[in-house]
Amino acid sequence: MADLTLNLTKPGDTAKKLSLNLTKGERFTVRLAWEGQTDIDLHALVCVNSGAGAKASSFDDILSTYNVRRRIGMQEVGTLAKKSDGSFEIHGGALVHSPDATDGDQADIDEWILVDPGKLAPVQGGVIEIPLVTMVHPQDGGRRFRDVKNAVVTIENSSGAQLMRVSLSTQFGEFVGVQMGSIMIDHGSTNFHAVGVGFNGDFNTVLAHFS
């Protein structure tokens, strides 16, 4: 299988010269907030883990603003259709992403992802794993989370219980990306597993790990 690689350029960019057991039917909300002009993004993947790590099999499994259909120069890139409000989704709305925020000037929450595991079909010979990732954009610009003011990610279940709260600016200041955790779905049982791993590659480096 060919490696999955996305174009990591957005329109307007300057061209380059813990483990919690949750009930069946649970839903999750991932919220990202920050202050200032830095661009930070939320990403999620729908993977299958058969015991050798989580693997995404197609571009339809990648919920990322880098995977939204757009024109970069003379080239059309991305596979996901953007809705009229700027949001986009994969797997029939099992994962929905807010409109892309290119700065931290939105009121309260700048970006969010909604996850409804009940909309995902079961898989044979493995479990569904949904890695949740946050990254500074662009990854080659030299900025780290320590350069971003008050960058915070929270993950909640449908009853509003907070499963994770991470200060990216302080806890992961030396990194450009963090995998906060993964949602695991196995035969109707849904679990959130905290990961908290930072990295300094770009998003295609992340995809290479999960493909």
Q: What is the pLDDT of residue 127?
A: 94
Q: What is the CATH number of the domain that holds 80?
A: 2.60.60.30
Say whether the peptide bond before residue 138 is cis (omega within 30 degrees of 0).
yes
Residue 22 located in a structural domain: no
| Domain ranges, residue 84 | 27-209
Q: Which of 31, 43, 1 is nearest to 202 (CA)?
A: 43
* Tens-digit pLDDT profile for residues 43-56: 999 999 999 999 99
Kindly state whether residue 13 falls inside one of the protein's structural domains: no
The pLDDT value recorded for residue 17 is 53
Smallest CA-to-CA distance from 110 within 152, 156, 172 is with 152
Alpha-carbon Rg for the chain in angstroms: 16
Residue 24: predicted pLDDT: 54
Query: Is 2 within a domain?
Result: no
Residue 9 lies in a domain: no
Helix (H) or strand (E) holding 167, with range, is strand 162-167
The pTM of the full predicted model, rounded to 2 decimals, is 0.89
- Would residue 55 count as lying in a domain? yes
pLDDT per 10-residue tile (average), the chain, 211 residues: 73 58 73 95 97 94 97 93 97 97 86 95 92 96 95 94 96 96 88 93 94 89
CA angle 30, 21, 176 (to 5 degrees): 35
What total number of domains does the chain contain? Answer: 1
Separation CA 169–CA 82 (nearest Å): 30
Angle in degrees, CA 45, 51, 56, rounded to 5: 20
First-to-last CA distance in the chain? 8
